Amino acid sequence: MSETAASLASPTPAAPAGLPWRRWASQAGAVMRLDLRKGFRRPVGLLLLAAAPIAIALIRVVFSAHAVHERADVAEGTNFYAWMYQILILRLELFLAGVAVFGNLIRREVLDRTLHYYFLSPIRRELLVAAKYLTGVLVTFTLFGISTVISFVLAYLPHDWTAVSPFLFHGPGLRQLGSYLLVTFLACVGYGAVFLALGFFFKSPAVPALGMFGWESIHFLLPPLLKQASVIHYLQSLCPVPIPEGPLAVLSDAPSPWVSVVGLLVLAVILVAVSGWRIRRMEISYDES
């Protein structure tokens, strides 16, 4: 630094020493702690969403006398969970959580008129948006990861342990759970990035959310080329137990797991980068809201 304002001016404390990476990490950490503290103090809606599959699986346990036909056959539990996961958790809850959490990361700060506190700090705005995104991923994956695991376990509870134990520990059970967790994680990452970025182009998250929901819902009817332009296409292909899509579905080759995982991660990086580019140009103008 040559003769700049810093050297001329009064005692400005030196920035914490070290590589920018270390400072960025500590700044991102500070943003995440602050966001957790003020943004997710009472996440009632999220908790209810995450509790719903657990409640449904519990009801099945309680009424297992009627709900479960063959206690010795774990396939029934596997099938039940596959339906519940893909329809309820993946298509509905993770999608809604993405809208609610990521669509509001920046928007809520604008509505609360608090965004300027971040904009008045010596933090790169790209870093700010990335830190907020990571907070969202952390919160949603923690809640829905736990929900995924508990409801998975509950799905097998009505079945005989003599059948469940070999399925879990010597069969595909734990690997299936791992796959479901991976899908939950990638859904948080993917839908999160989509709704974070859309938030910079739409005033209210409801409009793009409805459009996106429609698009993702008719996914199974889309021709193969268009299928590739939906998030659910990749997430669904990673689910360990397929569920039938009905007679109207247009069949197409499922992408390979690597394509799905890497593709979703790359998509997320691109969308967070787009958000960073948008937030750099953002002005504080609370008045319209």
Ligand X SMILES: Nc1ncnc2c1ncn2[C@@H]1O[C@H](COP(=O)(O)OP(=O)(O)OP(=O)(O)O)[C@@H](O)[C@H]1O
Q: Under the rule (CB under 6 A), what is the footprint of ligand X?
A: 285, 287
Which of 162, 285 has the CB closer to other proteins?
285
In angstroms, give the least distance from the CB of 136 to ligand X.
28
Question: Which range of residues in 33-41, 149-157, 197-205, 237-245 is near other proteins by CB under 8 A?
Answer: 33-41
The residue within the footprint of other proteins, chosen from 56, 71, 96, 119 (CB under 8 A), is 119
Of residues 121 through 140, those in contact with other proteins by CB under 8 A are 121-125
30 contact choice in other proteins, ligand X, none (CB below 5 to 8 Å, kind-dependent): other proteins
One-letter identity of residue 131? A
State the residue number with the nearest CB to ligand X: 287
Which of 52, 123 has the CB closer to other proteins?
123
- Here the tokens at position 83 are 């339906």
Residue whose token pair is 């009472």? 42
One-letter identity of residue 189? V
The residue within the footprint of other proteins, chosen from 178, 249, 286, 289 (CB under 8 A), is 286
Rg (alpha carbons) of the chain, rounded to whole number: 22
* Residue 88 three-state SS: helix
In angstroms, give the least distance from the CB of 200 to other proteins.
16
In angstroms, give the least distance from the CB of 113 to ligand X.
12
- Here the tokens at position 39 are 């943004």
In angstroms, give the least distance from the CB of 31 to other proteins.
6
The residue within the footprint of other proteins, chosen from 120, 225, 248, 251 (CB under 8 A), is 120
Q: How many helices (H) and strands (E) does the chain have?
A: 15, 0
Say how many Å lie between the first and final Cα of the chain, rounded. 41
Residue whose token pair is 């580019």? 277
162 contact choice in ligand X, other proteins, none (CB below 5 to 8 Å, kind-dependent): none
Which of 208, 210, 191, 190 lies closest to 199 in space, CA to CA?
208
User: If 0-12 CB within 10 Å is exposed, 13-18 middle and 19+ buried, where does residue 31 land?
Assistant: buried
CA 202, CA 174: separation in Å to the nearest integer? 41
Binding site for other proteins (CB under 8 A): 3-6, 8-13, 15-16, 23, 26-27, 29-31, 33-34, 37-38, 41, 112-114, 116-125, 280-281, 283-286
